[in-house]
Amino acid sequence: MQKKWELRDKSISAFAMSEKYSPQFLELLASRGVSSQKEIEDFFCSSYSVSNDLLKISGMIEAIERIVKAFERKERIAIFGDYDADGVTATALLLEVLESLGGSSLTYYIPDRQLEGYGMNDLAIEFLARDGVKLIVTVDSGITNVDEVEKARALGIDVIITDHHHPLEVLPAAMAIINPHLENSGFEFSDLAGVGVAFKLAQALYQKIAPKEIDKLKWMLDLVAIGTVADCVTLLGENRTLTKYGLVVLSKTRRVGLTEMFKVGRIEISENNIPDTQKVAYQIAPRINAAGRMDHASVAYKLIMEKDQIQARILALEVEEKNQERQKITAEIVKEIEEIAMRDFSEKKFIFAKNEHWPVGILGLVAGKVAEKFQKPVVVFQIQQKEYVGSLRSIPEINIVKCLEKCADLLTKFGGHSQAAGVRILPENVDKFCQKMTELIETELFGKEIISTLTVDLELKAENIDWQFMQNLKKMEPFGMGNKEPIFLLRDMQISDVRMVGNGSKHLKLAIKAANSNPKIFDAIGFKLGSEFPNLEKDNLIDVVFNLEEDSWNGNKKIQLKLIDLKLVS
């Protein structure tokens, strides 16, 4: 697939003349909107602290008073979570906090993704009522559950909502709602993940009940980091701080379940090997998510909470098996839909596929991979008895939710954002829906050439890349949404050596140097790029787009280019 390279706009302030950082590094910061002296100092000087203004957060005082009352009355409290990594970590964190502060009758409820779907539901509330629950505290959910909160109240259950999703016009009649997106919410930072909002409540509870022991909460930052990275919220501001320190805590976590997960999954994390966000996003979070996608998220929750090493090992093996099953089934379904796409949709701008056997939990993963390969919007349905459940993924040129709004009369339910959405639809409306979506998308794309765009943060010269630059780059971590790992460009690089490596020669291994007199030679690795550039030869001139990384082998360190794309210079 042809890629267009586009250099990011940047605007450097007068502070760029500072001698503390190189002009190239200041350009890199400016490309992220960090250019003034204060912005740069704030970016690099984040430190963990507990705010003294937690009680100014809307709903916080009411939530604390109700939880304290539940403790005094020895009432049964349920944490109502969600089945993704953000919801699971938030559930574990808050239940652990309530237990440590004296909660004597605690339980949790995470809905079944396949059978119940997202958020609170009537059957779950009835179950909790029969279990004697008098207070539900939601995490990562609840803000849209107006009817369900009324149901709980009718059954004598109070509800406290902690959530980070955007509220609707009508709010649930809960005892308290803690959400950074409420008007006048009182939050200093509004982009927290669900686990981040739960952590705020945890901090406030410790300030009220056990202020001298509040430092214990630092050991829960491992869960905050996992949930925050997994939920793809922006890693700026408070999220950056929580994640930065959370990754350190994760490297020395006291959670037996997590350490067993690392061993079973061969994830290299230890006190001397602090994980980065990539390791969380691509190795830890998928394993936690796999439980909810393939079976029930309670398996991942139990793993996080388990204190017995033998039982933790058993749960870790189960989670690993679920993850491998998820990978296998995802690959099989992607291959199946790719064949359908090439056969039936080669001339069309919208791909749709349906099957009763495809698990709901992986529909979004599958749709995303197919959309990326074909650069077309995709919907993948699971056929259920009474309705079709679908996940959509799009391309930058198409706002998929706006298209869905024009098909609202055909849908039972829909929601999402410009690039990802979910739908529920009656069987008799599916063909009409797919036809209308095809017409809308083809009209929108008429006359447009679809080219995948690769945004480059900074163009460098070979002499700019040294260990000082790498040290400054390290200070920019943790990388993630809003602060993505920088992408660089080098032009007119000469190939000194070229090899194909890995099973099936899938990976491209190069040694390259500047075509001018600069003697520096860089190792470059292009994972899965072997088939894309099979005819490269020694002495070819190329432009390369890449990330920078430190490569260590047998105690030796070197700077390596992690290739994203390259072009032959004609």
**Residue pLDDT, tens place only, 484-514:** 899 999 999 999 999 888 877 788 999 999 8
DSSP, res 538: T
Phi, psi for 526 (deg, rounded to 5) = -120, 95
Asked if residue 15 has pLDDT above 60, the reply is no
Q: Is residue 398 a part of any domain in this protein?
A: yes
Listed residue (199, 226, 252, 215) closest to 304, CA to CA: 226
My answer on whether 444 and 480 are in the same domain is no
Kindly report the CATH number assigned to the domain that includes residue 308: 3.90.1640.30
Listed residue (241, 234, 183, 181) closest to 51, CA to CA: 241
My answer on whether 439 and 522 are in the same domain is no
**Helix orientation angle between 285-294 and 309-344, rounded to the nearest 10 degrees:** 70
Kindly report the CATH number assigned to the domain that includes residue 395: 3.10.310.30
Looking at residue 116, its pLDDT comes to 84
My answer on whether 68 and 206 are in the same domain is yes
Q: What percent of the chain has pLDDT over 90?
A: 66
CA distance 389 to 114: 10
Q: Is residue 255 a part of any domain in this protein?
A: yes
My answer on whether 294 and 354 are in the same domain is no
* CB 200 within 8 Å of CB 140: no
Kindly report the CATH number assigned to the domain that includes residue 540: 2.40.50.460
CA distance 27 to 363: 40
Q: What is the DSSP string of 397-460?
A: T--HHHHHHTTGGG-SEEEE-SSEEEEEE-GGGHHHHHHHHHHHHHHHHTT----EEEEESEE-
Q: Is residue 558 a part of any domain in this protein?
A: yes
Q: Is residue 20 a part of any domain in this protein?
A: no
Angle ∠(83,89,93) on CA atoms, nearest 5: 130
Binned at pLDDT 50, 70 and 90, residue 18 comes out as low
CA distance 50 to 417: 33
My answer on whether 106 and 249 are in the same domain is yes
Domain boundary among 450, 481, 506: 450
My answer on whether 117 and 262 are in the same domain is yes
Asked if residue 13 has pLDDT above 80, the reply is no
CA distance 261 to 251: 13
Listed residue (191, 200, 181, 182) closest to 61, CA to CA: 200
Listed residue (479, 468, 31) closest to 244, CA to CA: 479
Binned at pLDDT 50, 70 and 90, residue 10 comes out as low
State whether residue 468 is helix, strand or coil: helix
CA distance 407 to 432: 9
Domain boundary among 271, 292, 313: 313
What average pLDDT does range 91-116 have in this prediction? Answer: 93
Looking at residue 260, its pLDDT comes to 97
Question: pLDDT, tens digit, for every residue of 517-539?
Answer: 677 899 999 988 888 888 888 98
Q: Is residue 428 a part of any domain in this protein?
A: yes
Name the helix (H) or strand (E) containing 383. strand 378-383
Question: pLDDT, tens digit, for every residue of 54-92?
Answer: 999 999 999 999 999 999 999 999 999 999 999 999 999
CA distance 379 to 434: 9
Mean pLDDT of all residues belonging to the chain: 91
* Segments forming the whole domain that contains residue 539: 454-568
My answer on whether 352 and 297 are in the same domain is no
The number of folded domains in the chain is 3
State whether residue 100 is helix, strand or coil: helix
Question: CB within 8 A of 72, min separation 6: which ones?
Answer: none
Question: pLDDT, tens digit, for every residue of 183-202?
Answer: 999 999 999 999 999 999 99
Q: Measure CA 433 to chain center.
A: 30
Domain boundary among 450, 483, 509: 450
Q: Is residue 221 a part of any domain in this protein?
A: yes
Looking at residue 14, its pLDDT comes to 45
Question: pLDDT, tens digit, for every residue of 96-105?
Answer: 999 999 998 9
Listed residue (423, 350, 417) closest to 391, CA to CA: 423
My answer on whether 249 and 163 are in the same domain is yes
CA dihedral 269, 274, 276, 277 (to 10 degrees): 70
My answer on whether 292 and 177 are in the same domain is yes
Listed residue (534, 462, 541) closest to 500, CA to CA: 534
What are the CA-CA distances from residue 328 to residues 295, 321, 331, 374 (Å)? 15, 10, 5, 21
Q: Is residue 376 a part of any domain in this protein?
A: yes
My answer on whether 141 and 263 are in the same domain is yes
Handedness of CA 134, 139, 141, 143 (dihedral sign): positive
My answer on whether 458 and 417 are in the same domain is no
Looking at residue 361, its pLDDT comes to 87
My answer on whether 202 and 61 are in the same domain is yes
State whether residue 508 is helix, strand or coil: strand
Task: Give the pair of three-digit tokens for residue 492.
Answer: 């007119």
Q: Is residue 273 a part of any domain in this protein?
A: yes
